[in-house]
Amino acid sequence: MNNGPLIVQSDKTLLLEIDHERAQDCRKAIAPFAELERSPEHVHTYRLTPLGLWNARAAGHDAEQVIDTLLAYSRYSVPHALLVDIAETMARYGRLRLEKHPTHGLVLSSSDRPVLEEVLRAKKVKPMLGERLDDEAVVVHPSERGNLKQALLKIGWPAEDFAGYVDGEAHAIDLTEDGWELRGYQREAVESFWHGGSGVVVLPCGAGKTIVGAAAMAQAGATTLILVTNTVSARQWKEELIRRTSLTEDEIGEYSGTKKEIRPVTIATYQVMTTRRKGVYAHLELFDARDWGLVVYDEVHLLPAPIFRMTADLQARRRIGLTATLIREDGREGDVFSLIGPKRYDAPWKDIESQGWIAPADCVEVRVTLPESERFVYATAEPDERYRLASCTGVKNTVVDQLVAKHRGEPTLVIGQYIDQLDEIAERLDAPVIKGETTVKERERLFNAFRHGEIDLLVVSKVANFSVDLPSAAVAIQISGSFGSRQEEAQRLGRLLRPKEDGRSARFYAVVARDTVDADFAQHRQRFLAEQGYAYRIMDAADITAES
């Protein structure tokens, strides 16, 4: 027995004592392969999963490193059966290979014949395969490359894809690096992606994911299709590409609800790509409109289900996914792994913070108590109404007033889920509000005014969660969220993480009604940030004015 901070259990859970002097080092060491499940005050629970271990394997971590990490930090002896299981699970990745064959095109091969025999008999795999060539290889229908990878992952034998990529139509793209240069981690991220051919780069909000995308485009030197969350994001991408690369405005097209431009670099929104008319995806031809050499998926954790189906047909194109978190609330992380590619690079938020590239953040959960009358209404409400009742309690309005007054003069966002609640708060604060019905033109006007200091207070709905660059934001007050969404919490904190000129910390407040599902969901939302090393201070609403 040693005095480590970790207890490794045979059910694949890891218990981390967070008050231990080595806890932060341990958290960082296990992050590449373990997922945080629960994060109460003193002991955090992580879990080992096959997908987590395969992602670690694809990112360059081997079983020996994972096992050594557990042995180094574990307080008690690690169950031997678990160590064997880790080694065997990680060894499954790459036992099957997709490869190019000189005469038969695409083949599935394995030097481990029993594994190949097993998957050949799987009901969902068999129809995707053609002629058996020999003991080690079988022909794959080229159109099934993506579907086959999905199916193999589901039966526990993830294939490593060595079948290569088409270069696509050449189009020169150079980084200008005039007055700036790629940061070390950005360069590493691009190199890791390019070496793997396709996959996902995970970087904190504010760490320059767009620049990583631009550098990947320069590396490819080819026509590029960029898929983004919304029109505001599309225009920010265009501005950044014009600023950071040799691309001109005429070389970049916007493909959205209002424009249908197809250029050597085309930026399309997920919404327009998933629009259906009479049951048919109306804009599917965009994927074939050019001989794309690269497809960029921004905020890959938000990919709509139809985009996965479309991506299954794009396996011969290089693909890079960009995100702050691989967590998907719909549980489709396996589809990202299969169809976009495995995680190629992951920079812990605290590492980037320690290098000075993102601002430190102080996370505070402010707890309010429902008045007696509201508690009775809440207690007798239907379960699906309780979250709205707890989230929209009027007690939160007073807290927002106090927090806005406390940070007067600092660029502040008030963020929420429910439009009537946001409208009421915006009226109380005499502040502009951005919500779904706000036109793109008006959103851009208000975001620009906020960026340039013309206004220092904005009330925003979830339309501002993703791909909105507000580098000046210093304070965020979250009054309600999408239930227990960990990805949303990460994105909302991310709005604040651009470094501040005076070096001060960002402040992220989550206003939560105690003894309700609001508090339960808040704890769930905070899991991802806890995994990244952010701790929430808890304070009572009554103590706001007392805190300096």
Distances (CA, A) of 340 to 184, 296, 326, 345, 505: 24, 10, 12, 14, 35
The β-bridge partners of 46 are: 14, 36
Residues comprising the chain, all counted: 548
Average pLDDT (355-375) is: 89
Q: Give the separation between CA 33 and CA 533, rounded to whole angstroms.
A: 16
Examine residue 245 and state whether it is found in any structural domain, yes or no. yes
Q: Do 231 and 327 lie in a common domain? A: yes
Examine residue 176 and state whether it is found in any structural domain, yes or no. no
Q: Give the separation between CA 516 and CA 539, rounded to whole angstroms.
A: 16
Q: Is 408 exposed, middle or buried (0-12, 13-18, 19+ CB in 10 A)?
A: exposed
Q: Is 317 exposed, middle or buried (0-12, 13-18, 19+ CB in 10 A)?
A: buried
Q: pLDDT tens for residues 495-535?
A: 777 777 777 788 889 999 999 988 888 887 787 777 677 77
Q: Could you tell me the CATH number of the domain that includes residue 285?
A: 3.40.50.300
Residue 248 pLDDT greater than 50, yes or no: yes
Instruction: Transcribe 432-459 into DSSP letters.
Output: -EE-TTS-HHHHHHHHHHHHTTS--EEE
Q: Do 196 and 344 lie in a common domain? A: yes
Among 306, 307, 300, residue whose Cα is nearest residue 341: 300
Q: Do 331 and 367 lie in a common domain? A: no
Examine residue 177 and state whether it is found in any structural domain, yes or no. no
Q: Do 378 and 480 lie in a common domain? A: yes
Are 78 and 8 in contact by the 8 Å Cβ rule? The answer is: yes
Examine residue 206 and state whether it is found in any structural domain, yes or no. yes
Examine residue 323 and state whether it is found in any structural domain, yes or no. yes
Per-residue model confidence (pLDDT) at position 464: 64
Q: Give the separation between CA 448 and CA 467, rounded to whole angstroms.
A: 14
Beta-carbon contacts of 180 under 8 Å, excluding residues fewer than 6 positions away, are: 244
The β-bridge partners of 475 are: 412, 507
Per-residue model confidence (pLDDT) at position 417: 87
- Kind and range of the H or E run holding 531: helix 527-531
Give the domain-ending residue among 323, 353, 383.
Answer: 353
Paired sense of beta strands 265-269 and 252-255, if any: parallel
Q: Do 102 and 80 lie in a common domain? A: no
Q: Give the separation between CA 367 and CA 392, rounded to whole angstroms.
A: 13
Which two three-digit tokens encode residue 444? 């851009």
Q: Give the separation between CA 3 and CA 12, rounded to whole angstroms.
A: 20
Examine residue 249 and state whether it is found in any structural domain, yes or no. yes
Q: Do 494 and 390 lie in a common domain? A: yes
Which two three-digit tokens encode residue 125? 């795999």
Residue 173 pLDDT greater than 90, yes or no: yes
Give the domain-ending residue among 353, 386, 417.
Answer: 353
SS in 3 state form for 499-517? CCCCCCCEEEEEEEECCCH
In the chain, % of residues over pLDDT 90:
56
Output 422-425 pairs: Cβ under 8 A, ≥24 positions apart.
Answer: 422/459, 422/460, 422/461, 424/397, 425/397, 425/400, 425/459, 425/479
Q: Do 386 and 500 lie in a common domain? A: yes
Examine residue 548 and state whether it is found in any structural domain, yes or no. no
Examine residue 179 and state whether it is found in any structural domain, yes or no. no
Give the domain-ending residue among 298, 320, 353.
Answer: 353
Average pLDDT (279-293) is: 87
Beta-carbon contacts of 105 under 8 Å, excluding residues fewer than 6 positions away, are: 139, 140, 142
Name the pLDDT band for 432 (thresholds 50, 70, 90).
very high
- Residue-number span of the structural domain to which 130 is assigned: 96-161
Tell which wins on pLDDT, 463 or 146: 146
Residue 368 pLDDT greater than 50, yes or no: yes
Q: pLDDT tens for residues 484-496?
A: 566 677 777 777 7
Looking at 191-195, 261-265, 338-342, 489-493, which range is the least confident one? Answer: 489-493
- Give me the number of domains the chain comprises: 4
Q: Do 372 and 448 lie in a common domain? A: yes
Q: Do 87 and 116 lie in a common domain? A: no
Q: Give the separation between CA 223 and CA 506, rounded to whole angstroms.
A: 38
Instruction: Transcribe 262-308 into DSSP letters.
Output: --SEEEEEHHHHT-EETTEETTTTHHHHS--SEEEEETGGG--HHHH
The β-bridge partners of 267 are: 226, 254
Q: Do 252 and 372 lie in a common domain? A: no
Tell which wins on pLDDT, 217 or 437: 217
Per-residue model confidence (pLDDT) at position 1: 61
Helical axes 231-244 vs 209-220, angle rounded to 10°: 60
Alpha carbons within 13 A on the beta-carbon side of 389:
20
Average pLDDT (317-329) is: 86
Q: Do 524 and 392 lie in a common domain? A: yes
SS in 3 state form for 173-185? CCECCCCCCCCHH
Q: Which strands sit side by side in the sheet containing 43-48, from one edge to the other?
A: 6-8, 13-17, 43-48, 34-38
Per-residue model confidence (pLDDT) at position 177: 81
Residue 548 pLDDT greater than 50, yes or no: no
Count the neighbouring beta carbons within 10 Å of the beta carbon of residue 187.
13
Q: Do 484 and 375 lie in a common domain? A: yes
